[in-house]
A and B are shown apart, each in its own frame.
Chain A
Amino acid sequence: MIRVSDSITAMEDRNMRLLGTEQLDVLLDAGFRRHEVIASNLANVDTPGYRAGRLRFEEEVSDVLEKAEGSSAGFEQETEVYRPGGKRGRNNVSLQSEVTKLSRNGLRVEQYLSILNFKIRRMKTALRSQ
């Protein structure tokens, strides 16, 4: 169920230092978008027939990250919500799994933000030293 997210976390750790500002931008956008999707799943935990939404973003980015190895080329900014599996007419939201995803996504976004912060700080230092 969380295989995709797990693999990308490992990958991100490896490539974290290679991320450029543009990529961080895209990843942050996706992080906030993912938060919305999860919040929507949580809000609809009792809606009959609702199927949990996921962000298709993750797989594409992981692909690109592997190929591009930190270059800012080929980053897909398109995010798409899809609703996998589940019988039609049945709600397939699991509260526990959504809360876990929420926490993980929050940590991830915080990580991106602190990297971005670090980059800004480095830029400032470089500008000041001249």
Chain B
Amino acid sequence: MDAWRISASGLGAQWKRMRVIGSNVSHSETTRTSGGGAYRKHYPVFSATLEDVSGVQYEGSREARKPTRTVYAPDDPRAGEDGKVTEPNVSLPLQTRDMISARQAYKANVRAMKQFKKLCQKTLKLRG
């Protein structure tokens, strides 16, 4: 795998990670889903081969096992018969943190790409 593809795969991975985070954030208040119950946080899963130099592969997103929060709010129209509301297990501060780290990783990949371009251009300019 050449440097372009490796860096491109990193960019794609961070992009997908940001999409998953965006989905988590937008569903941070979703208490009903088609599968029943509140929304559960998703996280992206990546994989790589450790044999040689390789890029990263996106394997899809999984549901977090962390339990959903149950809040006692009998006045809430969403509450069940016992007066409890099940809220999603998304923590906004943690999602923000993840987003920042995704952005940093994205930038680092862009930087690797730019540097490779620069080195290739310099090599092409070798003429004494």
Residues of A within 8 A of B (CB): 28, 31-32, 35-40, 42-48, 50-51, 53, 81, 83, 95, 98-99, 102-103, 106, 109-110, 113, 116-117, 120-124
Which residues in B have their C-beta under 8 angstroms from that of A110?
119, 122
Is the CB–CB distance between B3 and A43 below 8 Å? Answer: no
Main secondary structure on A side of the interface with B:
helix
Which of B66-74, B76-84, B85-93, B105-113 lies on the face that meets chain A? Answer: B105-113
Main secondary structure on B side of the interface with A:
helix
Is the CB–CB distance between B128 and A43 below 8 Å? Answer: no
Is the CB–CB distance between A113 and B6 below 8 Å? Answer: no
Of the four ranges (under 10, 10 to 19, 20 to 34, 35 or more), the interface on chain B belongs to 35 or more
Which residues in A have their C-beta under 8 angstroms from that of B113?
39
Is the CB–CB distance between B126 and A117 below 8 Å? Answer: yes
Is the CB–CB distance between B6 and A39 below 8 Å? Answer: yes
Contact A117 B112, CB 8 Å, known A46-B17, A46-B105, A95-B105:
no
Is the CB–CB distance between B108 and A42 below 8 Å? Answer: yes
B6 to A, closest residue via Cβ? A39
A109 to B, closest residue via Cβ? B119
Is the CB–CB distance between A113 and B126 below 8 Å? Answer: yes
- Of residues 3 through 37 on chain B, the ones whose CB sits less than 8 Å from some CB of chain A are 3, 6-7, 9-10, 13-14, 17
